Amino acid sequence: MRKKIIFVAGHKGMVGSAIVRLLKKKNVFLITKDQNELDLTKQSLVEKFFKKKKIDQIYLAAAKVGGIYANNIYPGEFIYKNIMIQTNIIHSAFVSGIKKILFLGSSCIYPRSAKQPMKEEFLLTGTLEPTNEPYSIAKISGIKLCESYNRQYKDTHNIDYRCVIPTNLYGPNDNYHPKNSHVIAALIKKFHEAKIKNERIVEIWGTGKAKREFLHVDDLAKACFKIMNLSVKEYTAVTNSSLGYINVGYGKDITILKLAKIIKKIVDFHGKIEFNFDKPDGMMKRLLDSKRINDLKWKPKVSLYKGLVKTYENFKESLKNKKI
C-alpha cells in the first residue's frame, strides 16, 4: 500500500509548519511549495501543479494573517489574498480529482455580540467585529465554499472537504512583526526589547480588559490530523451539510492584562505596563465552545504557561539564528 501524498499549503507559517512537524512523524509522503515556486493567488498555476501530482489530502493553512493593526491598515489585501488563495486551492483540487481537504478558518468568523462560549451554529447570526471584518468574510467564504462543494459534489465526485475553526494561536514560527503580529507574539517582542534596552514602560493597546482564548499551535496540529482522518461516519456525527466545521479551542480564556503580566514575568522585565485606551480592544470576549471536538476524544495538552515559556525560548532561538 502506497503512502498518502499530502500537500500542506502555507508550510512556512505558524500553523502550516506545526502540521508539517507532525506529518513528518507519520507514514506519509509530504509535499510543500515555497511562494516563489507556486503563487497560490494564480489559479492556472495551482491547477497545473495539482494535475501533475497525485495528491490524496490537502491541509489548507496558507493565508494572509495579522493582528488588529494589520487588519485595519490592509483590509483590501486581507480580503483579496485570502479569498484568492483558498478559492484557487479548493476549486483546483476539485477539478484535479483531489478528494480530501482540511480548511483552516478562524474564530473571528463569529458575530461580535455572539453569546459566549461561541458554538458552531452561531455563524452568520450577527454583525462581525469591524477591526477584522474583511479577513473574517474571506474565511467565511472558504468555509461556505467547502460546504457548497460537499453539498453539490459529495455523491457524484466522492469529495470530503472539512473545516476547522481554531481559536487564537501561538507557538513556533509566529510572526513577530512590530505592527502586523498577533497579541502573544507582539507582547513577547515588546517585553523582550524593553528588557534589552532597559526601558521602564511597555505600552499595550486597549484597556487590558478584553478576554482571549489561546491554543498552542502543536495542539491545533494534532486536532487537524485527527479531524482529517476521522471516518465519514465519525465526522458527520458531529457536523452536517450546512455546518461542516468544528471549533478547536483551549477551553479557557484570559484577560489581556493578566496575559501581559504572565509574559512580563517569563521575559523577566521589571518595568511597568501601560495601556493605551485610545487604541481598540477588538471583541471584548472571544471563547469557543469546543464540545464537538472534545466529544471526539481530543483535548489540548500544552498548558498556557508552559506554552508561553516554550514560545519565548523559540523566540530567543530565532533571534540568535537571525530568523526574526
Identified catalytic residue from 59, 69, 135, 149? 135
Task: Answer whether residue 79 shows pLDDT above 80.
Answer: yes
The answer to whether 135 is a known catalytic residue is yes
Task: Answer whether residue 115 shows pLDDT above 90.
Answer: yes
d(CA 210, CA 230): 35
CB-based burial, 261-294: b 16+ in 10 Å, e otherwise: ebbbebbebeeebebeeeebbbbbbbbbbbbbbe
* Confidence (pTM): 0.95
Question: Could you give the 3-state DSSP secondary structure of residue 159?
Answer: coil
Contact 108, 60 (CB under 8 A): no
d(CA 214, CA 170): 7
Contact 123, 137 (CB under 8 A): no
Task: Answer whether residue 167 shows pLDDT above 80.
Answer: yes
Task: Answer whether residue 278 shows pLDDT above 90.
Answer: yes
Strand pairing of 253-255 and 211-216?
Answer: antiparallel
Residue 136 pLDDT class (50, 70, 90 cuts): very high
Q: Give the list of residues 6+ apart from residue 216 with CB closer than 8 angstroms, or none.
A: 169, 170, 171, 300, 302, 307, 310, 311
At residue 78, the pLDDT reads 95
d(CA 202, CA 89): 41
At residue 104, the pLDDT reads 98
Residue 33 pLDDT class (50, 70, 90 cuts): very high
Mean pLDDT of 69-75: 88
Task: Answer whether residue 131 shows pLDDT above 90.
Answer: no
Q: What are phi and psi of 223, to 5 degrees?
A: -65, -40
Q: Which residues pair with 166 in a beta bridge?
A: 248
Q: Over pLDDT 90: what percentage of the chain? A: 90
Task: Answer whether residue 240 shows pLDDT above 90.
Answer: no
For the chain, give the mean pLDDT.
95
Q: Give the list of residues 6+ apart from residue 182 with CB closer than 8 angstroms, or none.
A: 65, 66, 67, 168, 169, 170, 174, 175
Q: Is the model more confident about 66 or about 312?
A: 312
Among 29-43, 177-191, 205-219, the least confident range: 177-191
Question: Could you give the 3-state DSSP secondary structure of residue 18?
Answer: helix
Task: Answer whether residue 72 shows pLDDT above 80.
Answer: yes
At residue 69, the pLDDT reads 83
d(CA 61, CA 221): 11
Task: Answer whether residue 85 shows pLDDT above 90.
Answer: yes
Rg of the chain over CA atoms, in angstroms?
20
Considering only CA atoms, which of 257, 266, 125, 254 is closest in space to residue 204?
257
Burial of 108 (0-12, 13-18, 19+ CB in 10 A): buried
At residue 77, the pLDDT reads 95
Question: Could you give the 3-state DSSP secondary structure of residue 216?
Answer: strand
Architecture of the 4-320 domain: 3-Layer(aba) Sandwich (3.40)
Domain residue spans of the chain: 4-320
Q: What are the start-end ranges of the H helices in 160-303?
A: 183-196, 217-228, 232-236, 256-267, 291-295
